[in-house]
Structure 1
Amino acid sequence: MRLRKKWWARPEMEASPLVVTNPREYKGKWIEEFKNNNPIHLELGCGRGQFISRKAFVNNNINFIGIDLKDEVLVYALRKVEKEEVENVRLIPLNIAFVSEIFDENEISRIYINFCNPWPKLRHNKRRLTHSKFLTEYKKFIKPASEIWFKTDDKCLFEDSQKYFKECGFEIKYITYDLGSSDFKENIQTEYEEKFSKIGMNIMFLIAKLK
């Protein structure tokens, strides 16, 4: 669905110290931006921010960075973060294809990918955020033994992603085809997940660890 342009979104974001609109200037300097040595976790496609705002609230010893392309979406993530009154979050409006341009080697300790576009057509598979093409880019800036936490409701994407992770030197540390009924206790739901879990859709989840 095409988003209606919200001309007020960018000015509101630029007025906040929690939004970084020039992220390439922070490459290798994110610790300085957060003013501490805490680990940095990255959410790719943070959407309206329910996941990252709640995650930051219950983990004040971790710094979080959320990336999404559209101001019209990211501005609502900003509002959720502000409502939680957390300071350990930064939001970045950016095309994820350029993510390796804003982080230096070993800057990120964990990546979250929640309900990314499944790009089901074969000719579009390389656009998947779990595709080997993207995983190779992430390896440029994640620490050794870092984890990627991945959630989806698309079984084809989930099973293809397992192959991508193994091809790129990750091992599947945890996996479930029904997160809601699993023994995994650390889950925080996204807006999308909350909606579809209520109508009985299975959410698939895995943790892939870099060897």
Structure 2
Amino acid sequence: MRNKPWAIDYLQSNNHIVDVNSTYSKKIKEFFSTDQPLHIEVGTGMGTFITTLAQRNPDINYVGIELDKNVLIRVTEKVLELGLTNVRLLLLDANTLMDYFNEDEVDKVYLNFSDPWPKNRHAKRRLTHSNFLTSYKQLLKQDSIVEFKTDNRGLFEFSLMSMNAFGMKFENLDLDVHDDEHEDNIRTEYEEKFSQRGHKIYWIQASF
């Protein structure tokens, strides 16, 4: 996506939806008008997944976390267009999750089509590396779920091994989501694109 020089100004002008400066760090509940269960998506893509979830579940608060300010503009536009009051967005590096959230504060984490970082030397950047799993375990309430989807077989296999080594419990596992697609599955923009190319979609639900 092309760089938009005005991106930060736009996001800051919508600070009732987007937290650019960690204003709500350690007090995310104050960012919402209603105190409800809290789910987060790490890496929003263009926002189809989180906005669709929010429409279907008005009794849950959703936080979308994205590092790319240009991408976050698209998500913000969708939230505004749909008039969603249960979605808030953070311009935030996933490496700093525990600097922002409190322990035992989140009810579910979604990871959708994360960058696979295929080179071995970049393994620590994968969002299912043990470093990130440590953060998820801290911020999640007991027995809460991490839900992960990818079309990348290498990342899927890495994630299985990483989660298993971390001692996580696999609640659900699907090696081809679209073979017998569940009605609750929300296709992200990337999911549609990869599926049209004939890629299998892999899915994991795991708890600590």
Tell me if the contact between 1:40 and 1:62 (Cα under 8 Å) persists in the aligned partners. Answer: yes
Q: How does 1:85-124 map to 2 (within 5 A)?
A: 85-124=83-122
Which residue of structure 2 lines up, in the alignment, with residue 165 of structure 1? 163
Q: Which runs of 5 or more structure 2 residues have no equivalent in the other structure?
A: none
What amino acid is the match of 2:10?
A: E
Tell me if the contact between 1:40 and 1:64 (Cα under 8 Å) persists in the aligned partners. Answer: yes
Q: Could you tell me how far apart the structure 2 residues matched to 1:27 and 1:56 are?
A: 22
Match of 1:206 among 194, 197, 204: 204
Question: 1:44-94 deviations in whole A, cap 9, x for unaligned?
Answer: 010211111111111100000001111111100111111221110111111
Q: Could you tell me how far apart the structure 2 residues matched to 1:60 and 1:80 are?
A: 16
Which residue of structure 2 lines up, in the alignment, with residue 52 of structure 1? 50
Structure 2 residue 28 is matched with structure 1 residue 34 = no
> Displacement, 1:185?
3.1
Match of 2:133 among 132, 135, 151: 135
Q: Could you tell me how far apart the structure 2 residues matched to 1:105 and 1:75 are?
A: 29
Q: Could you tell me how far apart the structure 2 residues matched to 1:201 and 1:144 are?
A: 34
> Displacement, 1:104?
0.2
For normalisation by structure 1, the TM-score amounts to 0.93
Secondary structure of the corresponding residue to residue 43 of structure 1: strand
> Displacement, 1:156?
1.3
> Displacement, 1:183?
5.3
Tell me if the contact between 1:42 and 1:64 (Cα under 8 Å) persists in the aligned partners. Answer: yes
What amino acid is the match of 1:156?
A: G
Tell me if the contact between 1:54 and 1:84 (Cα under 8 Å) persists in the aligned partners. Answer: no
Q: Could you tell me how far apart the structure 2 residues matched to 1:72 and 1:113 are?
A: 19
Q: Could you tell me how far apart the structure 1 residues matched to 2:173 and 2:136 are?
A: 21
Tell me if the contact between 2:31 and 2:88 (Cα under 8 Å) persists in the aligned partners. Answer: no
Tell me if the contact between 1:48 and 1:74 (Cα under 8 Å) persists in the aligned partners. Answer: yes
> Displacement, 1:151?
0.4
Which residue of structure 1 lines up, in the alignment, with residue 62 of structure 2? 64
Structure 2 residue 174 is matched with structure 1 residue 181 = no
What amino acid is the match of 2:36?
A: N
Secondary structure of the corresponding residue to residue 205 of structure 1: strand
Q: Could you tell me how far apart the structure 2 residues matched to 1:118 and 1:82 are?
A: 30
> Displacement, 1:32?
2.4
Tell me if the contact between 2:107 and 2:141 (Cα under 8 Å) persists in the aligned partners. Answer: yes
Tell me if the contact between 1:176 and 1:182 (Cα under 8 Å) persists in the aligned partners. Answer: no
> Displacement, 1:168?
1.8
Secondary structure of the corresponding residue to residue 42 of structure 1: strand
Question: 1:92-145 deviations in whole A, cap 9, x for unaligned?
Answer: 111111111100011111000001111111111111000111101221211100
What amino acid is the match of 1:22?
A: N
Q: Could you tell me how far apart the structure 1 residues matched to 2:145 and 2:38 are?
A: 12
Q: How does 1:147-158 map to 2 (within 5 A)?
A: 147-158=145-156
Tell me if the contact between 1:28 and 1:107 (Cα under 8 Å) persists in the aligned partners. Answer: no
Percent identity (aligned) = 40
> Displacement, 1:165?
1.1
Which residue of structure 2 lines up, in the alignment, with residue 22 of structure 1? 21
